[in-house]
Amino acid sequence: MKNQEIIERIHAAKHVVVISHVNPDTDSLSSASAVYTYMLKLHKKVSFFCASKNIDEKLKFLPWVEKLKNSFPRDADLAISLDCGAYSRLGVELEIDLINFDHHQSNDNFAKYNVVDASAISTTQVLFDFFKANEIGINQKMATALYAGLIDDSSNFLSHKTDHRVFDMARELCQLGADSASCSIFVSKYMSLSAYRLKGAMMLDMRLYDDATISVLHVDQKMMQKYGAKASDCEAALEEALHLPTVQVALLLRENKNLTLKGSLRSKGSVDVNVIAQIFGGGGHPHAAGFTLENNDLEESTQQIIKLIKESKQ
């Protein structure tokens, strides 16, 4: 699809700010990195914004991540958000025009300009299609960034959503000079000692419910401190909890410092976890979604969510 209006708006801008969502993941930072390079190719003044201060060490290999700032540039006249499934994910209130590139099913087209494709496996795939449809050249830096988001959101091509479109994109990006080796090292294989140890503890404590079709993982602040772990360190265990043959849905509840709970859900069956996350004001995709609870009662919250999962199985 050609996006003439959006291209013209970009060309008219004087200072563009690219936005990664709060607690940015690989797809969000990679997408923003690719758009940052695109803006430089257009000789635009460009800023890279993320409301969160702590950026995962492993993602610092991505082009332009060193330019990240958590203060919003006052004189920017156009913003481009990447991989933000909801407006609240931007972490900032905007008074300027916004272009929203995303692939979350929960995205409600919150911007003036929206390029949202829920059939895309990653936001970098939405961008890849956008660049190609509008004959925007993809250089080596852009190719590396687009590839990074592709392998992370496709779980290294293991996701059930991996199809010929994913492999075609990977092949083309490699042809364009994507540094796939660095992506493998930093996106796929990088694990800190804290993350390994936390994963071990989480797996030991994992509980199974409803004939072992639901697995539940808990992480409280005490555990986080014991292993010196970060929020993103919890993800490996959640993904792998789904590998158990009987498990259809995996739930992770992680206590935040402000005594709220961050919930993450994964599904490999018919349960649409996006629907469950939306009940709590969150969202995502049918097979991966997240939400926040305004309490830190792990037991009660677990029972409440298990009930919802059981109901949606029927």
Supply the minimum distance, in Å, between the C-beta of residue 108 and Mn ion.
Answer: 16
DSSP-derived 3-state class of residue 217: strand
Which position among 83, 179, 233, 255 is part of the footprint of Mn ion (CB under 5 A)? 83
Supply the minimum distance, in Å, between the C-beta of residue 103 and Mn ion.
Answer: 6
Supply the minimum distance, in Å, between the C-beta of residue 278 and Mn ion.
Answer: 17
User: In angstroms, rounded to a whole number, what is the distance separating the alpha carbons of residues 55 and 64?
Assistant: 13
In the shown chain, the binding pattern of residues 26 to 65 toward Mn ion, with x for contact by CB under 5 A and - for none, equals: -x--------------------------------------
Q: How many residues bind Mn ion (CB under 5 A)?
A: 4
Supply the minimum distance, in Å, between the C-beta of residue 284 and Mn ion.
Answer: 9
Interface with Mn ion in residues 151-180 (CB under 5 A): 153
Q: Note whether 102 binds Mn ion by CB under 5 A.
A: no
Of 168, 266, 257, nearest to 217 (Cα)?
266
Q: Is 156 left (phi over 0), alpha (psi -120 to 50) or beta?
A: left
Considering beta carbons, is residue 56 or 153 the nearer one to Mn ion? 153
Please return the burial class of 94, using the count of CB atoms within 10 Å of its CB with bins 0-12, 13-18 and 19+: middle
Supply the minimum distance, in Å, between the C-beta of residue 153 and Mn ion.
Answer: 5
User: In angstroms, rounded to a whole number, what is the distance separating the alpha carbons of residues 95 and 219?
Assistant: 38
How does DSSP classify residue 266?
E
Interface with Mn ion in residues 115-144 (CB under 5 A): 123
Tokens coding 111: 């911007």
- Count of CB atoms within 10 A of residue 314's CB? 4
Pick the piece of the chain touching Mn ion (CB under 5 A) from 23-31, 88-96, 185-193, 250-258: 23-31
Considering beta carbons, is residue 106 or 194 the nearer one to Mn ion? 106
Considering beta carbons, is residue 150 or 293 the nearer one to Mn ion? 150
Torsion from C-alpha of 215, 221, 223, 228, nearest 10 degrees: 120
Pick the piece of the chain touching Mn ion (CB under 5 A) from 78-86, 126-134, 223-231, 282-290: 78-86
C-alpha 152, offset from chain centre: 9
Supply the minimum distance, in Å, between the C-beta of residue 239 and Mn ion.
Answer: 14
Considering beta carbons, is residue 154 or 301 the nearer one to Mn ion? 154
Please enumerate in sequence order all residues whose Cβ is within 8 A of that of 257, keeping only pairs 6 or more positions apart, or say none: 221
Binding residues for Mn ion, per CB under 5 A?
27, 83, 123, 153
